[in-house]
Amino acid sequence: MNTKELLLSVLMGGPATGYDIKKVMEHDVSTLVDVSLSNLYPALNELAAEGLVTFRKVEQDNRPNKKIYELTAAGQEACLRALMKGDARHRLRSEFIFILSFVPFLPRWRVKELLDQRLADTNAVLEDLDRRDAEDNGTLREGQRFCIGFGRAMMEAQRDYIIAHGAELLDSCPDENPLRAVSAD
């Protein structure tokens, strides 16, 4: 999905300020798909010019005015068309996995560092998913609840795999930094 389609999908949740949209894009959407936030406001202006969103200006005391964006019926239709035509690919792209594919060349301390960081990141994601689940006062749609559960299952499987097999991987690593052997020549 392109940036404009992602913006429309965020607004499916209801009216929001540009700041609120940016927060959702940064914290929620970007964890699932690649997001470019550099053209967020120009894209919102284009959507308004195309009649897919409307906005109203709200004056604030001692602060800049803000705009509250809302989908039009045409915007909702455009969002649904984008969701219907999307490929819904699920890709595994990971620098972590790429780097670990070179384990025979990495010292044990580096691999341990990578595993520990991945576990910490995974646990942080699980805590965030737990928080979102706990904060649900019936406001999450069924699809959102499914996604939280799906994400939890993936993160738990990742954590469990690292815990179960990390020691084997560490045992296969050289003790010394292989670069020392190369630089000694």
CB atoms within 10 A of CB 129: 19
> Which DSSP symbol is given to 27?
H
Structure tokens given for 114: 């990578």
Amino acid at 65: N
Tens-digit pLDDT profile for residues 42-91: 899 999 999 999 999 988 888 888 899 999 999 999 999 988 886 777 76
The answer to whether residue 184 scores a pLDDT higher than 60 is no
Structure tokens given for 128: 């965030």
In CATH terms, the fold of domain 3-85 is Arc Repressor Mutant, subunit A (1.10.10)
Amino acid at 72: T
Confidence of residue 167 (pLDDT cuts 50, 70, 90): very high
Structure tokens given for 115: 């595993």
Tens-digit pLDDT profile for residues 85-102: 867 777 677 889 889 988
**Residue 62: exposure state from Cβ atoms within 10 A (0-12, 13-18, ≥19):** exposed
